[in-house]
Structure 1
Amino acid sequence: MKTKKYLFLINGMVMGGAERVMATIANEFVKRGNEVCIVTLKEPKSAYRLDPRIKIVGAKGCVQSNNKVLRLIQLIYSGIKGFFYYLYYLKTYRPDAVLSFLTYSNLLAIMTRRIFVKNVPVVVSERCDPQKRGYVLKKLCEFMYPMADCLVCQSKQVGSYFKRISRKSNIRIIPNPVNPECIAPTLLNKRRNAIISVGRLSPQKNFDLLIKSFHEIICDYPDYIVEIYGQGPEYNNLNKKIRTLNLENNVFLMGTKKNVMQSVNNARLFVITSNYEGFPNVLIEAMASGLPVISTDFPTGAARELIKDGINGYVVPRNNKKELARAMAQILSNPQLQDSMSEANKKIVRCFDLNKIIDQWNAVLNKEY
Structure 2
Amino acid sequence: MRLALVAYLHGAGGAERQIILLGNEMKKRGHDVHLLILAENKSNYDIADGVHIYDLSVVEHGGKFDIIKRYFALRKWLKKIHPEITINYNLQGAYFSMLLGNRICGKILYSERGDPYDKEYSGVLGHVRDITCKKVDALVFQSEGARDFFEIGEKQKAIVIHNSVVVPQDKYPIPSARDNRIVTVGRLHSQKNPQLLVDAFALIADIYPDMTLEFYGDGDLKEEIQSIINSKGLSERVHLHASRKDIFDCIRTARLFVLTSDYEGMPNALMEAMALGLPCISTDCRPGGARTLIKSGKNGIIVPPRNVNALVDKMMYMLENPREAELMAIEAYKIGTTHTNVVTFDKWNQFLISIL
TM-score > 0.5, shorter chain as reference: yes
Change (3 A) 1:146 1:295: same
- Residue of structure 1 in register with 2:181 after alignment: 194
Q: Quote the Cα distance in structure 2 between the aligned partners of 1:99 and 1:13.
A: 17
Change (3 A) 1:186 1:225: farther
Quick check: 1:103 aligned with 2:100?
A: no
**Partner of residue 129 from structure 1, selected from 115, 118, 127:** 115
SS of residue in 1 equivalent to 2:140: strand
Quick one: which amino acid aligns to residue 96 of structure 1? E
Q: How do residues 90-169 of structure 1 correspond to structure 2 at under 5 angstroms?
A: 90-113=78-101, 116-117=103-104, 120-132=106-118, 133-134=120-121, 135-163=123-151, 166=153
CA deviations on 1:179-234 (whole Å, 9 max, x unpaired) are 13598434343322211111111111111110110111112211111110111111
- Residue of structure 2 in register with 1:89 after alignment: 77
Q: Quote the Cα distance in structure 1 between the aligned partners of 2:70 and 2:146.
A: 28
SS of residue in 2 equivalent to 1:367: helix
177-186 or 50-59: which moved more?
A: 177-186
Following superposition, the deviation at residue 304 of structure 1 comes to 1.3
CA deviations on 1:71-92 (whole Å, 9 max, x unpaired) are xx63xx2221111111111111
CA deviations on 1:148-205 (whole Å, 9 max, x unpaired) are 1111110101101113x75765221011001135984343433222111111111111
CA deviations on 1:117-170 (whole Å, 9 max, x unpaired) are 26x11111100001212311112111211211111110101101113x757652
Q: How do residues 202-213 of structure 1 correspond to structure 2 at under 5 angstroms?
A: 202-213=189-200
Unaligned runs of 5+ in 2: none
Quick check: 1:228 aligned with 2:236?
A: no
Quick check: 1:39 aligned with 2:25?
A: no
- Residue of structure 1 in register with 2:347 after alignment: 360
Q: Quote the Cα distance in structure 2 between the aligned partners of 1:223 and 1:28.
A: 44
Quick one: which amino acid aligns to residue 21 of structure 1? Q
SS of residue in 2 equivalent to 1:41: strand
Q: How do residues 22-61 of structure 1 correspond to structure 2 at under 5 angstroms?
A: 22-44=19-41, 46-60=43-57
Following superposition, the deviation at residue 247 of structure 1 comes to 1.0
TM-score (norm 1): 0.89
- Residue of structure 2 in register with 1:69 after alignment: none
Asked if structure 2 preserves the Cα contact closer than 8 Å seen for 1:151 and 1:171, the reply is yes
Quick one: which amino acid aligns to residue 343 of structure 1? I
Asked if structure 2 preserves the Cα contact closer than 8 Å seen for 1:59 and 1:81, the reply is no
Quick check: 1:313 aligned with 2:300?
A: yes
Unaligned runs of 5+ in 1: 65-72
TM-score (norm 2): 0.92
Following superposition, the deviation at residue 345 of structure 1 comes to 0.5
CA deviations on 1:276-321 (whole Å, 9 max, x unpaired) are 1111111111111111111111220112111112111111111111
Q: Quote the Cα distance in structure 1 between the aligned partners of 2:93 and 2:44.
A: 18
CA deviations on 1:40-83 (whole Å, 9 max, x unpaired) are 1134564201112222112225475xxxxxxxx63xx2221111
Q: How do residues 211-250 of structure 1 correspond to structure 2 at under 5 angstroms?
A: 211-250=198-237
- Residue of structure 2 in register with 1:9 after alignment: 6
Asked if structure 2 preserves the Cα contact closer than 8 Å seen for 1:185 and 1:266, the reply is no
Following superposition, the deviation at residue 111 of structure 1 comes to 2.1
Q: Quote the Cα distance in structure 1 between the aligned partners of 2:126 and 2:243.
A: 31
Quick one: which amino acid aligns to residue 267 of structure 2? P
Following superposition, the deviation at residue 266 of structure 1 comes to 2.0
The alignment yields a C-alpha RMSD, in angstroms, of 2.1
Change (3 A) 1:179 1:325: same
Q: Quote the Cα distance in structure 2 between the aligned partners of 1:182 and 1:200.
A: 25
Asked if structure 1 preserves the Cα contact closer than 8 Å seen for 2:60 and 2:70, the reply is no
Following superposition, the deviation at residue 109 of structure 1 comes to 1.8
CA deviations on 1:243-291 (whole Å, 9 max, x unpaired) are 1111112110001113523431221211111111111111111111111
Asked if structure 2 preserves the Cα contact closer than 8 Å seen for 1:183 and 1:261, the reply is no
Asked if structure 1 preserves the Cα contact closer than 8 Å seen for 2:82 and 2:104, the reply is no
- Residue of structure 2 in register with 1:20 after alignment: 17
Q: How many residues align?
A: 353
Following superposition, the deviation at residue 367 of structure 1 comes to 1.9
Quick one: which amino acid aligns to residue 79 of structure 1? I
Q: Quote the Cα distance in structure 1 between the aligned partners of 2:20 and 2:179.
A: 31
Q: Quote the Cα distance in structure 1 between the aligned partners of 2:170 and 2:178.
A: 15
Asked if structure 2 preserves the Cα contact closer than 8 Å seen for 1:11 and 1:104, the reply is no
Q: Quote the Cα distance in structure 2 between the aligned partners of 1:48 and 1:304.
A: 27
Q: Quote the Cα distance in structure 2 between the aligned partners of 1:45 and 1:191.
A: 35
